[in-house]
Structure 1
Amino acid sequence: MPQSADFQKILRESKNPLGTSVLLILSWIALSDENLDKSELEQLNQIAAASKSGSSLEPLLDLIKSRNTYAIRLASQVIKQHFTGEKGKLFLEMAIQMSIADGYLLPSENHILRFLADLLQISKLSLSEVFTEYTGRPLPDYSDPSYATYWTSRSSESKNQSKSHNLSKEDEAMSILGVRKGASMYEIKKAYRRLAQIHHPDKFSTLGDEAKEAAKINFQRIKDAYDYLVAYA
């Protein structure tokens, strides 16, 4: 069977083609660096389990691993058809959540966000504004080789840092909340309140079960980061 038919078959057999398309795009973001770590796989499995599409995650991951651009284009068109206006912006917000879940924004993830913004007819300015709202930092230019390290805010780190770099638990929590090392408890609480409001899972309920579950996972990550910093302050 030609690759172009693989995802068509999956969509035909899906109980919810939109949900299946959302899951594929989230898998694309998670695998954009060609490495799916344990936490990313667990997150995708949770989203797939919450989905009512009936689609298995493994075939979708196989499509991404094989660089099946047809599947990505087809899933993108399904999403474009259903997510217009405010829903389009919400989906972009969810994609940002997935992209920065590990505390980094890598070149491949940056390109995907810009692709999705263009797909959903969201301007570069609006993308940058949403990104800044979510992270407290401006969207890096994708030609800047340093933005993989941008998130750690450590000048002594190499500019070639990748997702494989192991942050300390404190640095990871700081990164998730978008605060710099040495931030006061007031700054940490302020960041948490802001993020808890804009990342609340109920906000994404109109996008379907997959989106709501992804938001729920991200919301819990924010709460865990906050709880850690409060406990060990």
Structure 2
Amino acid sequence: MSIARFSPFELLLLKSRSQVDTAKLLLLAWVLVHRQHVSEGQRRRRLAQVSVHFRHGHELAPIIHIAQQQDLKAIQLAAEVLRKECSKEHSLGVMHQAITVATDSGELSLANHYILRFLADLLNVEPLTLNTLFQELTGSPLATPEDPSRDAYWRIHDADYYAQKAREAEAAQQQAREAQEKAERQEKKRQQEEAERAHSKAQAEAERERNRQQEHARRQEQREHKKRQQRESQQEGAKQRSSYQRASSPPPPDRTARALAVLGLMPGASQVEVRKAYRRMAQLHHPDRFYTESEHQIALASARFQRIKSAYDYLMHTYR
């Protein structure tokens, strides 16, 4: 497993000479960071005093940092290490140290009221045993902590509590009004923007429709112009063919001879020769070979190819 996947506390456990002592250090540090009116230096010195006989072999600063981060997963892992490796008497010894650290100043902080109970639960120490141990060490019972969520707590501990609550309520109402006004302005602005977008979209759609109609008309006009040119070219080709036929010598009286002449064959040519001649003539005179020429040239090529095709069809019919 990659070392980057371990948490800071797990890394400390891996490096520790005594995982039990490292686990106890974290639990005691957790109590120490919740003591009131204690400086960082005092916490370090007190934790050093408590751990003078521990065999962990690493610095205390990382432990204090983890405790300050309120890393409950690390705290639960420390408790699991103690439950697994230590006896019930050892767990009681840890609770003894935790109570001592929590009450050094003679006053148990509200946070440590809950932390001691939480630690006792993690270490499987019964509530009655915890109360007995606390009274033996401090001379007074472990009282039920005050509930900060109740008004009674703040009436005692904060004389300005209700005034502060009123100010907070007024500020909250003011923020709510401002938020409502802001939301209304934003909604009005959104509606205006949507109306503007809808208007712009309609204009753009109308413009696109006009462009489509103009493009359609232009293409239609091009098609009509092309058709007129094709008709004129065909008419011109027909005139030229007619003139050529009138100017040429009279065709042979035999239709078969004429068809063979179109394919460039002599009378008496075989069916195989007819096929070969047709393929050769079709490749030479197919209209697709003249697509880069003028429309007039394409029309002439079409006429030549048609004569070749007609001659071939006639000859193949006569060979059946």
- In the superposition, the TM-score normalised over structure 2's length comes to 0.42
User: Are the equivalent residues in 2 in contact too, given 1:84–1:120 (CA < 8 A)?
Assistant: no
Match of 2:106 among 100, 103, 106: 103
| Structure label with greater radius of gyration | 2
Structure 1 position 85, deviation (Å): 2.1
- Specify the alignment match of 2:96 in structure 1: 93
Q: Deviations over 1:144-174 (max 9, x none)?
A: 67xxxxxxxxxxxx9549xxxxxxxxxxxxx
Structure 1 position 61, deviation (Å): 1.1
User: Are the equivalent residues in 1 in contact too, given 2:76–2:122 (CA < 8 A)?
Assistant: no
Relative to structure 1, the CA distance from residue 133 to residue 65 in structure 2 (aligned partners, 3 Å threshold; closer, same or farther) is: same
Instruction: Mark the runs of 5 or more structure 1 residues left unpaired by the alignment.
Output: 146-157, 162-233
Match of 1:63 among 38, 63, 66: 66
**What is the DSSP-based 3-state SS (H/G/I as helix, E as strand, rest coil) of the residue aligned with 2:87?**
coil
- Specify the alignment match of 1:148 in structure 2: none
Relative to structure 1, the CA distance from residue 99 to residue 34 in structure 2 (aligned partners, 3 Å threshold; closer, same or farther) is: closer
Relative to structure 1, the CA distance from residue 90 to residue 22 in structure 2 (aligned partners, 3 Å threshold; closer, same or farther) is: same
Instruction: Mark the runs of 5 or more structure 2 residues left unpaired by the alignment.
Output: 149-154, 159-320
Relative to structure 1, the CA distance from residue 4 to residue 114 in structure 2 (aligned partners, 3 Å threshold; closer, same or farther) is: farther
User: Are the equivalent residues in 2 in contact too, given 1:16–1:52 (CA < 8 A)?
Assistant: yes
Q: Does 1:43 align with 2:46?
A: yes
- Specify the alignment match of 1:80 in structure 2: 83
Residue identity matched to 2:55 = K
CA distance in 2, matches of 1:100, 1:13: 31
Residue identity matched to 1:131 = F
Higher helix share: 2
Q: Does 1:128 align with 2:131?
A: yes
Q: Deviations over 1:170-221 (max 9, x none)?
A: xxxxxxxxxxxxxxxxxxxxxxxxxxxxxxxxxxxxxxxxxxxxxxxxxxxx
**What is the DSSP-based 3-state SS (H/G/I as helix, E as strand, rest coil) of the residue aligned with 2:31?**
helix
Residue identity matched to 1:143 = E
User: Are the equivalent residues in 1 in contact too, given 2:35–2:108 (CA < 8 A)?
Assistant: no
**What is the DSSP-based 3-state SS (H/G/I as helix, E as strand, rest coil) of the residue aligned with 1:101?**
coil
Structure 1 position 108, deviation (Å): 1.1
Structure 1 position 4, deviation (Å): 5.8
C-alpha RMSD of matched pairs (Å): 2.6
Aligned length: 149
- Specify the alignment match of 2:116 in structure 1: 113
Q: Deviations over 1:55-91 (max 9, x none)?
A: 2101111112222222111111111223332222222
**What is the DSSP-based 3-state SS (H/G/I as helix, E as strand, rest coil) of the residue aligned with 1:80?**
helix
Relative to structure 1, the CA distance from residue 28 to residue 35 in structure 2 (aligned partners, 3 Å threshold; closer, same or farther) is: farther
CA distance in 2, matches of 1:15, 1:29: 23
User: Percent of pairs identical after alignment?
Assistant: 28
Q: Does 1:31 align with 2:46?
A: no
CA distance in 2, matches of 1:62, 1:53: 16
Bigger RCO (CA 8 Å, 6+ sep): 1
Q: Deviations over 1:8-60 (max 9, x none)?
A: 11100111111111111111000025874243321112344543211210111
- Specify the alignment match of 2:15 in structure 1: 13
- In the superposition, the TM-score normalised over structure 1's length comes to 0.57
